[in-house]
Structure 1
């Protein structure tokens, strides 16, 4: 029997509908959007864009990049696991790297990096290493000590979040990972495959 697990807590459900209803009622959906510079997670694209505008965190864009937005392009690239549609391959990859695809258990930043490194023996897009980079695959959960009286605070970078769930998503995201990917053209380094794909396929 298939079991559905909440993205943010340990509750299990017998149906996807029940699981989604729980996540809607408790606001337990993991953030799907991430700042291009600081990797701060957001639940909506609008909130992410407002953050990047306020702090100047956008990657340099070509003047007509607005035409590549969801408004103009629509969402036509599906996740092969859950079927949800995104605007680009990098958006689908980001969805998978965050581990937020409920139909792709075990697929996350680390498992994708390992699969890519196995398929990139000549290090076209990954950094060469003496041995397999054994990034910790544990899932971390913030304790109540992370609450500073106003926000949930990351103990590594001191980024602040409105909910414990958002902090947990940040802690388990590539935000504090090494930059293991690089552009084969300009050699710019990236923490995530999604970041590299955004560079290669804007």
Structure 2
């Protein structure tokens, strides 16, 4: 005989008891955990709370992994992945994000940090492109000084200004070395000429599986990609710095555009003097027009 404690009943054999547990509303069994619950509600609460189960209680559906469950939440529900909360409607999730996260209410996007959110708000998505390139035969507009300087450094401006020319102008007009390190800009000092050394790779850079940069050992699938890397400022001296005299952090950068992006991001104490530094960088940009364009 087999006995059911919960129902106070005897069964002729174990198979009959198992059949009873499967069919009775008094038995709600999680076979994976070997647990028997008195109600279906208790069983579902167990599935929802146990890390051994990947269960959506809203859809009464099981998933193979937590990743699959979260994908389901994001596709079918109003889900905040950072807080692991589900909301009944889009407005609830919207208000939660607005109050609890770095959130753009217009785009309904969540950002990892306040500086990332500010960069987004200053981007072309929200800000108007009003800064005109001073280069000859160039009519492009940009949303920030950093974007303009990056354009000039890229060598794609019709004025044919290069990154080396930008460095030369910065060295010439930053007489008090507010943003430049004089020991690293000797080749750009007033009266000097910009360095003309060019580094490139040949087929000999192939190491058997990829083209390898001999300076940082980074690997590239194509030789042209390696040469683009070598032509970039990746291995140049960090000639620019966030000015401590303006409550900056002293961080160093290889390009003026990188410094400008850092200032505009307001990631350090420089944000308190942002207008002064922006004016300084603006004057530098104006000088580029008079000097090199």
Q: TM-score, normalised by structure 1?
A: 0.57
Per the alignment, residue 92 of structure 1 pairs with: 148
1:121 aligns with 2:175: yes
Q: How many residues align?
A: 143
Residue equivalent to 1:108? 162
Hey, what's the Cα distance between the residues in 1 that align with 2:199 and 2:251?
29
Query: Any stretches of 5+ residues in structure 1 without a counterpart?
Result: 1-57
Cα contact 2:131–2:148 (8 A) shared by 1: yes
Distance apart, 1:163 and its partner CA: 3.7
**Distance of 1:162 and 1:72 partners within structure 2:** 37
TM-score where L is the length of structure 2:
0.42
CA contact (8 A) 2:238 2:253 kept: yes
Bigger proportion of residues as helix: 2
Equivalent position SS for 1:73 = coil
Pairwise CA RMSD: 3.0
**Computing the radius of gyration over CA atoms, which structure comes out larger, 1 or 2?**
2
The Cα of 1:90 is off from its aligned counterpart by 1.1
2:256 corresponds to which of 193, 196, 199: 193
Pairing of 1:167-182 with structure 2 (within 5 A) = 167-182=226-241
Residue 127 of structure 2 is matched in structure 1 by: 73
3-state secondary structure, aligned to 2:186:
coil
Aligned partners of 1:147 and 1:136: how far apart in 2? 28
Cα displacement (A) at 1:96: 2.0
